[in-house]
Amino acid sequence: MGETHIIRVMAVDDHPLMMSGIVGEINAQTDMRIVAEASDGDEALALFRKQHPDVTLMDIRMPKVNGIAAISSIRQEFPHARIVVLTTSAGDAQAVRAFKAGAVGYLLKNLLRTELVETIRLIYNGHKRIPPEIAQQIAEHAGDDSITTRELDVLRAVANGNSNKIIASDLKISEHTVKNHLKSILSKLNASDRTHAVMIALKRGFLDI
């Protein structure tokens, strides 16, 4: 009988404690090992070129280049790269962005202890993985009107505590236009006011502050 193939894994996360937990868990398995560790998106791409891992675990929130941008870059050069997103956020908007960028799996960090190893094996064998609660959220909002880039700019400015006047000045649009964007945002997010809109946007992953 031939030897079992060792699944070569790259882990990308800027938190040393999280990284050390992931590395320990993976290297404890007989059928997988960590071949590369990166702490930001740029480093991830450089190490991917060098190591060609079977499965990459990608944190979303990182300095310099974030996880979604890194997934896009890796997949452009290596269309068959298998990348699993690691995140603390169960937001559907963030998940949709990650899958559009080319991720094939999504794993919430609070489930790492129980589902990390099984997810790596699934992805390695050509399957996809979306946690049920995220799949449900994606389905729930599938028919929603999408939020435009300009509306996201306004929402981000609101989240930073700016008034309509300041937002209008910064974005070089009129206050009337800012109000119209806010009205549209409240409607699309089913929010009662601007603070509620920011809370929903954070929860669903439209904003990452």
Rounded to an integer, what distance in angstroms lies between the CA atom of residue 128 and that of residue 104? Answer: 5
Centroid of chain to Cα 208: 10
Rounded to an integer, what distance in angstroms lies between the CA atom of residue 193 and that of residue 144? Answer: 18
Q: What is the CATH number of domain 7-140?
A: 3.40.50.2300
Rounded to an integer, what distance in angstroms lies between the CA atom of residue 107 and that of residue 24? Answer: 17
List the structure tokens of 174: 């009129």
Inter-residue contact 60 to 86 (CB < 8 Å) = yes
Residue 57, by phi and psi: left (phi above 0), alpha (psi -120 to 50) or beta?
Answer: beta
**By three-state DSSP, how is residue 193 classified?**
coil
Task: Say which residues have a Cβ less than 8 Å from residue 109's Cβ, sequence separation at least 6.
Answer: 18, 86, 87, 88
List the pLDDT tens digit at each of the 209 positions of the chain. Answer: 445 689 999 999 999 999 999 999 999 999 999 999 999 999 999 999 999 999 999 998 887 788 999 999 999 999 999 999 998 877 888 888 899 999 999 998 888 888 999 999 999 999 999 888 888 888 888 788 888 999 999 999 999 999 999 999 999 999 999 999 999 999 999 999 999 999 999 888 888 76
Inter-residue contact 206 to 152 (CB < 8 Å) = yes
Domain boundaries, the chain: 7-140, 149-204
**pTM score, whole prediction:** 0.79
Architecture of domain 149-204: Orthogonal Bundle (1.10)
**By three-state DSSP, how is residue 93 classified?**
helix
